[in-house]
């Protein structure tokens, strides 16, 4: 089970850190991804990190502003979001997949419940 948290309301230019904690298992062999879904839009890839944390990938829209990281000892993945923009407003979901990283949501096996991020202008 994955539990996402850390969302909230923030002003343009502000920061938030999302967390995704796993219960009942370790995440060492799982790539972990963050996706987001804005109202009326499809779910989109945001960032992914490999099981060891050595490799990351970001959507162009967040590159340079968001940082994904993980602490396998805590079975937790983080998404540090800086310089937030109104277009970052969405429900953010974390997900896990066995093996290598992927940008495709369909490759992921387990999903968290989502946490709302709202950026006000």
CA angle, corner 43, sides to 70 and 62, nearest 5?
55
pLDDT band for position 30 (50/70/90)? very high
Q: For 36-46, what is the mean pLDDT?
A: 97
CA angle, corner 13, sides to 8 and 94, nearest 5?
45
What are the DSSP calls for 70-106, one per residue?
EEGGGTEEEEEE-S--GGG-EEEEEEEEESS--S-GG
> Does residue 19 surpass a pLDDT of 90?
yes
Q: Is 17 helix (H, G, I), strand (E, B) or coil?
A: strand
**Would you state the pLDDT for residue 83?**
98
Q: For 55-95, what is each residue's pLDDT tens digit?
A: 999 999 999 999 999 999 999 999 999 999 999 999 999 99
**Would you state the pLDDT for residue 28?**
85
pLDDT band for position 118 (50/70/90)? very high
């Amino acid at each position: 089970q994955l539990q996402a948290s850390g969302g909230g309301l923030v002003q343009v230019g502000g920061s938030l850190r999302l967390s995704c904690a796993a219960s009942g298992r370790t995440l060492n062999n799982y790539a972990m991804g963050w996706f987001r879904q804005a109202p009326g839009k499809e779910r989109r890839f945001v960032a992914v990190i490999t099981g060891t944390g050595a490799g990351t990938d970001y959507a162009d829209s967040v590159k340079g502003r968001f940082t994904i990281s993980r602490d396998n000892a805590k079975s937790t993945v983080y998404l540090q979001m800086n310089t937030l923009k109104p277009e970052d407003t969405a429900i953010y979901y974390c997900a896990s997949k066995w093996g290598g990283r992927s940008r495709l949501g369909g490759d992921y096996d387990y999903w968290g419940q989502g946490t709302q991020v709202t950026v006000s202008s």
